[in-house]
Structure 1
C-alpha cells in the first residue's frame, strides 16, 4: 500500500497541463486549446456563488458558452462529455441565453490551477461548465459538468434511445412523460436505463433491477434528496436534489417514470 501511495502522490502533484476541448456542432469539429480560450476576446473573470462542485464561492476565468456554439439553434440538443464517463444531455436553449441564468465555460489556467475537489482528487478542470444565477433557470446539478472533453450536437435523447421511452399510449401531459423529461435532465448524465444512454459513470437504473423494486418508497425519496444520509463513502459523486432543483411534484413524476419503466425492461 505504501509503495502504491508513493507512486500516486507525485502524480497528484504534477502541474496542470494545457488541454484541448473538442466542439462537434455540425459536419466538422473544432479544437480549442486552453491557452486560446483564456485569451479569447470575451473571456472574463466571473464569480460563482455556491459552486455545485466546490460547495463554496469560486472565481474563474470563463467565456460565455453561447459564443462558442456557432451555428447552434435554440431547438438543438447538445451533449457535454467528460473524460470520466459523465455525459450531460442538455437542450441548447438555456445554454444560448444571455440571462438571467447564464452558462459559462470556465478554463483552468495551468499557471493558476484550481484547488482539488477533495482529498486525493483532481480539480474540476481543465474545462468546467458553470452558471451565474442558476436559480433563475432552475439549473440542475447535472448541468454543471466538469472535466469536460467535448461538446457535441446530437439528435434528441428520445430519437437516439427509444428504449427510454414510456408507453406510447400515455397522454402527453401524463406525469410519467414529465418524469421522462426530468430523467433526461437529472439522471441520464450518470446512468443508463435498459442499456440506453451514453453515460459510463453510474449503474443502469432498470437492468437487472429498477430502484423502485428494491427501495422502500420513503427511503428512495430520501436517497434522491440526500444520498449521503443513507450511504456514505469518500468517492460518492451523486449530488443531493433539493426541492429548489426538483420539487416534490417533480420527484413524484420522476418516480412514476421509474416505476413505469420497471414494467418495460428490454435486454
Structure 2
C-alpha cells in the first residue's frame, strides 16, 4: 500500500511539472490536411507579439503571440473562398480576397500559450482559445465582427456559399441593387456564421432562420429589430449565446436589408 501511494504521488508530481499540451489546428487548402500544433506555431520564425486595440471577443485592448495568417495559406488566390470552423459550431465564411486585401488590414492567427492562458470571455461565453483570428487595422478593409472567429479548430478552402448552398439564394430575377439582394450579402456576412437557412449551411450555433418558420412570420418588425440589436431586450436568458449588433456593427440600412431578405425567403421555403 505504501509503494502504491508513493507511485501515485510520483505520477501527480510528474503531471504537475510536465509541459502543458498544445492544441491542433487543421488546414485543408485542397491538397490534403496540414496539422499545426500550438508548440510548433509558437516556435515559428514569423511569430510576432501584436497589439489589438479593439478586440472583438474581449471588447478591450489585447496582446497576442501570433503568426500572419496568409503565411499558413500559401497558394490561395483572390478568387478562393475559405471557411473557418470553431469548436462551438460557429462557421465563418471569408473570401480570400479579404485576407489578401491591399487596404492595410492584416489577419493574424493568435496562438494561446497553454502556460499563459488568455482570460475567459464574458459570462457564459466560454474561452477564446486555442486559436483565434484577429485583425490589425480592420477598419481599412471593412472587416466585420463575424470575421474574427475564435475557438478555431479548422480552416478549409471550399467553393463559395452560393455554389454550396443554393437554397439560401433569393430569386435570381431580382435586380442586383434591390434591398433583398443587398440583404442577402448582409446575411452571409452577419448571420450565416451561426445560423442555417432552409436547412443549408455548416454553422451549428443557432437555429435555422426559415424552417419551420421564418422569424418575420412570428415576430413583429419592431420586436425583431430590437432582438437583433439586443437579444436580451426580448428574452432575458443568461445562457443565450447570441450577441447583439449595434448600429456601428450593423447599420440601420443593412438591418432593413437583411429583414427584407428574410421576409423574401419566408416565401421560398425548401421542401423536405
State whether TM-score is above 0.5: yes
In 1, the alpha carbon distance for the partners of 2:143 and 2:223 equals 25
Task: Tell whether 2:104 aligns with 1:94.
Answer: no
Cα 1:44–1:232 shift into 2, 3 Å? farther
Contact 2:101–2:141 (Cα < 8 Å) also in 1:
no
Cα 1:222–1:122 shift into 2, 3 Å? closer
Q: Give 2:265's match in structure 1, choosing from 256, 261, 266.
A: 261
Pairwise CA distance, 1:110: 0.9
In 2, the alpha carbon distance for the partners of 1:42 and 1:117 equals 27
Task: Tell whether 2:48 aligns with 1:47.
Answer: no
Contact 1:52–1:144 (Cα < 8 Å) also in 2:
yes
Corresponding residue number in structure 1 for 2:204:
200
Corresponding residue number in structure 2 for 1:211:
215
Task: Tell whether 2:185 aligns with 1:181.
Answer: yes
Task: Tell whether 2:155 aligns with 1:151.
Answer: yes
Task: Tell whether 2:41 aligns with 1:30.
Answer: no
Contact 2:51–2:61 (Cα < 8 Å) also in 1:
yes
SS at match of 1:178: helix
Corresponding residue number in structure 2 for 1:108:
112
Pairwise CA distance, 1:97: 3.1
Aligned length: 253
SS at match of 2:51: strand
Corresponding residue number in structure 2 for 1:82:
86
Q: Give 2:129's match in structure 1, choosing from 125, 132, 141.
A: 125
Corresponding residue number in structure 2 for 1:241:
245
Pairwise CA distance, 1:243: 2.2
Cα 1:218–1:122 shift into 2, 3 Å? closer
Contact 1:212–1:220 (Cα < 8 Å) also in 2:
yes
Gaps in structure 1 of 5+ consecutive residues: 1-14
Q: Give 1:251's match in structure 2, choosing from 249, 255, 258.
A: 255
Contact 1:139–1:245 (Cα < 8 Å) also in 2:
no
Corresponding residue number in structure 2 for 1:19:
23
RMSD between aligned residues: 1.7
In 2, the alpha carbon distance for the partners of 1:128 and 1:171 equals 37
SS at match of 2:227: helix
Corresponding residue number in structure 1 for 2:10:
none
Cα 1:250–1:49 shift into 2, 3 Å? same
Cα 1:183–1:117 shift into 2, 3 Å? same
Cα 1:196–1:256 shift into 2, 3 Å? same
In 2, the alpha carbon distance for the partners of 1:176 and 1:128 equals 32
TM-score, normalization by structure 2: 0.88
In 1, the alpha carbon distance for the partners of 2:180 and 2:204 equals 25
In 1, the alpha carbon distance for the partners of 2:183 and 2:213 equals 18
Which string of whole-angstrom CA distances, capped at 9 and with x for unpartnered residues, describes residues 51-78 of structure 1?
A: 2111221111111111111111111110
Pairwise CA distance, 1:244: 2.3
